[in-house]
Amino acid sequence: MLEQAVIYTFVAFVLIGGGLAAFSRQILYAIIGLGISLLGLAGLFLNLGSPFVAAMQVLIYIGGITVAIVFAMMLSIAMSIRPPDPDARKLGFAIACAVIFFGAVAHLIRGAQFQQIASPASEKAWSVGALGHALLTHYNVVFETLSLVLLLAIIGAILIARKALPKENS
C-alpha cells in the first residue's frame, strides 16, 4: 500500500514536471520542471530495481545537465527575460501531434502481447558488481566508444564556443 503510494508520487513528479517543462513560457520554470521530472524518473528507476542507474540519473542529469542548461540560459539572457508572445497556431499543432502520437502508442501498448518473465532476476544480477563486470567484458567496445564520443564532444564544444582568434578576424 505504502509502496504503491510512493510509486504514484514518483509518477506524479514525472508528469507534473514534464508538463511544467513543456508548457512554461519562462525558461527558468521549464528547467525546474525538467529537474522535477528527472527526479521522479530516478525514483521510478529505483523502483524498477536499479539503484545504480537511479544514482547516475541524479548525478549526471540533475547535477550536471540541468545546471549546464541554467548556465546557458544565463549566458544568453535576452530571450529568457522577455519571452516571446505565445503562438497559438504552433502550440495547437504541437498538441495535435502529441495527442496523435500518444493515442497511437497507447493503442499499440493495449494490443501488444509481451512475453513477460515470471519473476524478476535475482538481486545479484542487478548489482553494481555485475554491471561493472559486463561493461568491462561483454560490452567493452560500447564502453570505449562512449568514452571516445564524450572526449570528442568536449573538444567539439570548446572549438565551437570559443571566441575567434584575432588572426581569424582578418
Residues 29-88 that bind other proteins (CB under 8 A): 30-31, 33-34, 37-38, 41, 44-45, 48-50, 52-53, 56-57, 60-61, 64-65, 68-69, 71-73, 75-76, 78-80, 83-84, 87
Within positions 109 to 168, which residues make up the interface with other proteins, using CB under 8 A? 109-110, 114-117, 120-121, 125-126, 130-131, 134-135, 139, 142, 146, 149-150, 152-154, 156-158, 160-161
Q: Helices 66-75 and 27-47 meet at what angle, rounded to 10?
A: 170
d(CA 133, CA 92): 49
Nearer to other proteins, 2 or 160 (CB): 160
Please state, as a whole number, how many other Cβ atoms lie within 10 Å of the Cβ of residue 27: 19
Out of 19, 136, 140, 144, the residue judged to bind other proteins by CB under 8 A:
19
User: Which residue type occupies 31?
Assistant: I
How far are the Cα atoms of 55, 82, 142, 155 from residue 169, in angstroms, in the given order? 46, 32, 41, 22
Identify whether the C-beta of residue 35 lies closer than 8 Å to the C-beta of residue 66.
Answer: yes
Nearer to other proteins, 124 or 167 (CB): 124
Determine, following the binding rule CB under 8 A, whether residue 11 of this chain makes contact with other proteins: yes
Q: How far is the CB of 142 from other proteins (least distance, A)?
A: 6
